[in-house]
């Protein structure tokens, strides 16, 4: 089952993942004069006044159990967000990503994209948040979908990743519209599906329809929980693959008559332990990946299955020599590495085993490929948000790279838009954990950063 699903994804997107890092153009200095000090202060006061509303809105969003898989409650959550933005004068579109993985009448892959045109020409700034959350799992001390506001925090699945960020961006934009009703350009806010399962029914689908390309959009901010004073420039690369060793079936009492695919896989694992893991561990990157432990090449062995499984006879092992064994690997690689070399070093180990072990044979299949991406620090959106962080926190931002990927890959690869970052409230380590929460102060402060960033991108640099 899992295998078939991964093939589907592979077929759909295999080649789409190959993209290159391009340098973004430097921030245009020719923008209109920045807003003045008094208006900037008014903007920050508007956000301070919205504090309770921000907490309540986050809690409301959490109450939609948008768990993915299977992709529940997307419709009501999109409708709720769309209605709110519609009241603010946004033109709201609801888009179903028909035919993408997981899409069905029961679990439609629904997205909402809202656009508010300004009074005069100018750039478009897009805030993109995924509305899906991972399943709550065990060990919660509260209802994960109650949206509890307590002790300066909002609790619930998705509070941190990333409904808090979505709410902060909406509050930031609403405050901006109150202070600057006659702004230039356009503002977009989207709530998209399926980021947690690869974004195929979300940003990838929308990017194919032109929603994340120029001239429609110029700057994209994804409010993922990377901490309020950090700018996330991109992510490491991914190569997921399935390795299968071949064997020959025989009676389990006479294994010498067959050929054990599981033992062959054992040899693969042994070679990985002795050669590959130490080599990857020693390979460092200049990308500022957080946490620092991920500032190197990594490999996870996701799953291993072999032989005549006991799926249909629970608890009863098969009395046969296994004639197949499959291993799924998740290799995260660096800007300094080339995907073909990443693949080649695994193939070299398998080819050597083929020479060394009698009857050893294997097959290797790509499941997913994502090139690493890192937005240039001189890109306009990076400069604007960095300046906003300096203004709100009176310190230099940290520039980080995410250890895992997120929807930026689709914006870059499919949309061809490289002026994109992740910036949002919430502590990255809390994502996907029990009793997930987001701090209300953090949301307020990051809403201020987003609003100032928006002001700088639309009005040009402040004096
Ligand atoms: Zn997320």
What residue spans of 110-202 are helical by DSSP H? Answer: 164-179
Q: How far is the CA of 327 from the centre of ligand 1 (A)?
A: 27
Could you give the CA distance from residue 374 to residue 385 in angstroms, rounded to a whole number?
16
Q: Please calculate the CA angle 227-228-232 and round it to the nearest 5 degrees.
A: 60
pLDDT at 280 (0 to 100): 98
Element (DSSP H or E) covering residue 119:
none
**Cβ 350 vs Cβ 242: under 8 Å:** no
The 3-state secondary structure of 14-64, one letter per residue: CHHHCCCCCCCCCCCCCCCCCCCHHHHHHHHHHHHHCHHHHHHHHHHHHCC
366 forms beta bridges with 241
Strands (E), 204-288: 219-222, 230-235, 237-246
pLDDT at 11 (0 to 100): 32
Max CA separation in the chain (angstroms): 85
Q: Domains in the chain and their CATH numbers?
A: 20-235+373-459 (3.40.630.10), 238-370 (3.30.70.360)
What residue spans of 70-163 are helical by DSSP H? Answer: 74-87
- Annotated catalytic residue, options 46, 72, 103, 132: 132
Q: How far is the CA of 427 from the centre of ligand 1 (A)?
A: 11
Q: How far is the CA of 128 from the centre of ligand 1 (A)?
A: 11
Strand, helix or coil at 150?
strand
Cα distance between the two ends of the chain: 58
**In 3D, which of 449, 427, 450, 443 has the Cα closest to residue 58?**
443
Give Cα 33 distance to the centre of its chain. 35
Query: CB-based burial of residue 247 (10 Å sphere; 0-12 exposed, 13-18 middle, 19+ buried)?
Result: buried
Q: How far is the CA of 322 from the centre of ligand 1 (A)?
A: 39
Strand, helix or coil at 306?
strand
Q: How far is the CA of 256 from the centre of ligand 1 (A)?
A: 50
Q: How far is the CA of 84 from the centre of ligand 1 (A)?
A: 22
Q: How far is the CA of 312 from the centre of ligand 1 (A)?
A: 36
Contacts of 155 (CB under 8 A, 6+ apart): 142, 146, 147, 148, 149, 435, 436, 437
Give Cα 459 distance to the centre of its chain. 29
**Cβ 370 vs Cβ 237: under 8 Å:** yes
**Cβ 201 vs Cβ 208: under 8 Å:** no
Could you give the CA distance from residue 41 to residue 20 in angstroms, rounded to a whole number?
40
pLDDT at 35 (0 to 100): 65
Element (DSSP H or E) covering residue 139:
none
Q: How far is the CA of 16 from the centre of ligand 1 (A)?
A: 21
Output the tens digit of pLDDT for each of the chain's 463 residues. 333 333 333 333 333 333 333 333 334 333 344 568 899 999 999 999 999 999 999 999 999 999 999 999 999 999 999 999 999 999 999 999 999 999 999 999 999 999 999 999 999 999 999 999 999 999 999 999 999 999 999 999 999 999 999 999 999 999 999 999 999 999 999 999 999 999 999 999 999 999 999 999 999 999 999 999 999 999 999 999 999 999 999 999 999 999 999 999 999 999 999 999 999 999 999 999 998 999 999 999 999 999 886 665 666 778 899 999 999 999 999 999 999 999 999 999 999 999 999 999 999 999 989 989 899 999 999 999 999 999 999 999 999 999 989 999 999 989 999 999 999 999 888 888 999 999 999 999 999 999 999 999 999 854 3
Place of tokens 């699903």: 5
Q: How far is the CA of 280 from the centre of ligand 1 (A)?
A: 27
Could you give the CA distance from residue 234 to residue 370 in angstroms, rounded to a whole number?
12
Which backbone phi and psi does 316 adopt, to 5 degrees?
Answer: -110, 115
Would you call 132 a catalytic residue per the annotation? yes
Could you give the CA distance from residue 173 to residue 416 in angstroms, rounded to a whole number?
25
Q: How far is the CA of 462 from the centre of ligand 1 (A)?
A: 31
Q: How far is the CA of 196 from the centre of ligand 1 (A)?
A: 7
- Annotated catalytic residue, options 72, 174, 195, 337: 195
pLDDT at 387 (0 to 100): 97
Could you give the CA distance from residue 95 to residue 297 in angstroms, rounded to a whole number?
37
């Amino acid at each position: 089952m899992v295998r078939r699903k991964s093939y589907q994804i592979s077929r759909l997107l295999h080649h789409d993942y190959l993209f290159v890092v391009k340098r973004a153009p430097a921030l245009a200095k020719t923008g209109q004069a920045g807003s003045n000090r008094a208006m900037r202060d008014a903007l920050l006061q508007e956000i301070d006044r919205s504090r309770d509303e921000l907490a309540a809105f986050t809690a409301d969003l959490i109450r939609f159990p948008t768990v993915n898989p299977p992709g529940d409650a997307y419709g009501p959550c999109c409708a709720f967000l769309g209605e709110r933005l519609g009241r603010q004068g946004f033109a709201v579109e609801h888009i179903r990503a028909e035919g993408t993985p997981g899409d069905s009448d029961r679990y439609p892959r629904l997205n909402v994209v809202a656009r508010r045109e300004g009074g005069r020409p100018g750039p478009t700034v897009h805030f993109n948040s995924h509305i899906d959350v991972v399943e709550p799992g065990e060990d919660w001390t509260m209802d994960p979908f109650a949206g509890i506001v307590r002790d300066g925090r909002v609790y619930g699945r998705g509070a941190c990743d990333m409904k808090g960020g979505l709410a902060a961006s909406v509050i930031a934009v609403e405050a901006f519209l109150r202070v600057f009703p006659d702004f230039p350009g356009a503002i977009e806010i989207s709530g998209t599906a399926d980021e947690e399962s690869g974004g195929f029914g979300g940003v990838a689908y929308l990017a194919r329809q032109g929603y994340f390309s120029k001239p429609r959009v110029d700057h994209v901010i994804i409010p993922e929980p990377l901490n309020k004073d950090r700018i996330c420039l991109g992510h490491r690369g991914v190569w997921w693959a399935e390795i299968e060793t071949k064997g020959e079936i025989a009676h389990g009492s006479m294994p010498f008559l067959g050929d054990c695919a599981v033992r062959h896989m054992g040899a693969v694992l042994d070679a990985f332990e002795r050669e590959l893991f130490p080599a990857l561990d020693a390979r460092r990157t200049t990308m500022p990946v957080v946490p620092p432990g991920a500032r190197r090449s990594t490999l996870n062995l996701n799953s291993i299955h072999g032989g005549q499984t006991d799926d249909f006879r629970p608890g009863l092992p098969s009395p046969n020599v296994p004639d197949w064994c499959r291993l799924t690997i998740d290799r995260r690689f660096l800007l300094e590495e080339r995907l073909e070399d990443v693949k080649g070093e695994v193939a070299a180990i398998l080819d050597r085993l083929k020479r060394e072990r009698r009857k050893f044979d294997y097959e290797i299949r790509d499941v997913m490929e994502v090139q690493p991406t890192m937005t240039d620090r001189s890109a306009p959106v990076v400069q604007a948000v960095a300046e906003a962080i300096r203004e709100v926190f009176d310190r230099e931002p940290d520039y980080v790279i995410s250890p895992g990927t997120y929807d930026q890959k689709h914006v870059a690869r499919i949309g061809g838009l490289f002026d994109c970052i992740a910036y949002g409230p919430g502590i990255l380590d809390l994502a996907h954990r029990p009793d997930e929460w987001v701090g209300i102060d953090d949301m307020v402060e990051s809403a201020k950063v987003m609003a100032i960033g928006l002001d700088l991108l639309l009005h040009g640099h402040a004096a």
